[in-house]
Structure 1
Amino acid sequence: MSAAVGLTLGPVLFHWDAEAWRDFHFRIADEAPVDTVAVGEVVCSKRLPFLADHLPAVVGRLEAAGKRVLLSSLALVTQERERRWTAELASGSGPTMVEANDVSALAPLAGRPHAIGPFVNVYNEATAAWLAARGARRLCLPPELPAASIAAIAAAAPPGLAVEVFAFGRVPLAISARCYHARAHGLAKDNCRFVCARDPDGMTVDTLDGERFLAVNGLQTLSHGCANLIEDAPRLARMGVAALRLSPQRCDMVAVARTFRAVLDGRMEPAEGRAALARLYPAAPFVNGFLHGRPGAEYVAATAP
Structure 2
Amino acid sequence: MTLHLTLGPVQYNWPVERRREFYRQIAASAVDTVVLGETVCFRRSPFLREAMAEEAALLLAAGKRVVLSTLALAVSAAERADVAALCGQADLLTEANDAGALYHLRGRPHWAGPFLNTYAPGTLAVLAANGAEQVCLPWELSLDSLRPLGRTAAGLRLEVPVFGRVPLAISARCYHARLHGLAKDGCQYVCDRDPAGLTVETLEGADFLRINGVQTLSGAVHAAIHEVAALREAGVESLRLMPEAGDMVAVIAAFRAVADGQADPETAERVIREATGGEPLCNGFLHGVDGTAWVGEAAA
Q: TM-score range by the shorter chain?
A: over 0.9
SS in 2 for 1:290: helix
Q: Secondary structure at the match of 1:230?
A: coil
Runs of at least 5 residues in structure 2 that lack an aligned partner in the other structure: none
- 1:286 — aligned with what? 281
Given the alignment, which residue of 200, 211, 220 partners 2:215? 220
How many Å apart are 1:283 and its aligned residue?
Answer: 4.9
The reply to whether residue 275 of structure 1 matches residue 261 of structure 2 is no
Shift of residue 304 of structure 1? 7.5
Residue of 87, 103, 106 corresponding to 2:102: 106
Show the counterpart of 1:19: 17
Distance of 2:20 and 2:191 partners within structure 1:
18
Kept in 1, the 8 Å contact 2:191–2:212? The answer is yes
- In structure 2, the residue matched to 1:65 is 62
**Kept in 1: contact 2:246–2:277 (CA 8 A):** no
| Contact 2:201-2:209 within 8 A present in 1 as well | yes
1:79 equivalent in alignment to 2:81: no
- Amino acid in the other structure paired with 1:134: N
Are 2:242 and 1:247 equivalent residues in the alignment?
yes
Secondary structure class of the residue paired with 1:171: strand
**Alignment-derived partner of residue 116 in structure 2:** 120
Q: CA deviation at 1:209?
A: 3.2
Equivalent residue, structure 1, for 2:135: 139
Residue 263 (structure 1) shift: 1.0
Give the residue type in structure 1 aligned to 2:149: I
**Partner of residue 91 from structure 1, selected from 72, 75, 88:** 88
Q: Which runs of 5+ in 1 are unaligned?
A: none
CA contact (8 A) 1:102 1:120 kept: yes
Percent of residue pairs identical = 48
Question: What's 1:208 paired with?
Answer: 203
SS of the aligned residue for 1:16 comes to coil
CA RMSD in angstroms, aligned pairs only = 1.2
The TM-score with structure 1 as length reference comes to: 0.96
Q: Is the 8 A contact 2:6 2:31 kept in 1?
A: yes
Note if contact 1:132-1:158 (Cα within 8 Å) is conserved in structure 2.
no
Residue 172 of structure 1 aligns to a residue in which SS? strand
Q: Which deviations, in whole Å up to 9, do the C-alpha atoms of 1:197-224 show, x marking residues without a partner?
A: 0111111101233222110100000000
Measured in 1, the distance between the counterparts of 2:106 and 2:242 equals 27
Cα deviation per residue 1:215-244 (whole Å; 9 max; x = unaligned)?
010000000000000111111111121111
Letter paired with 1:291: L
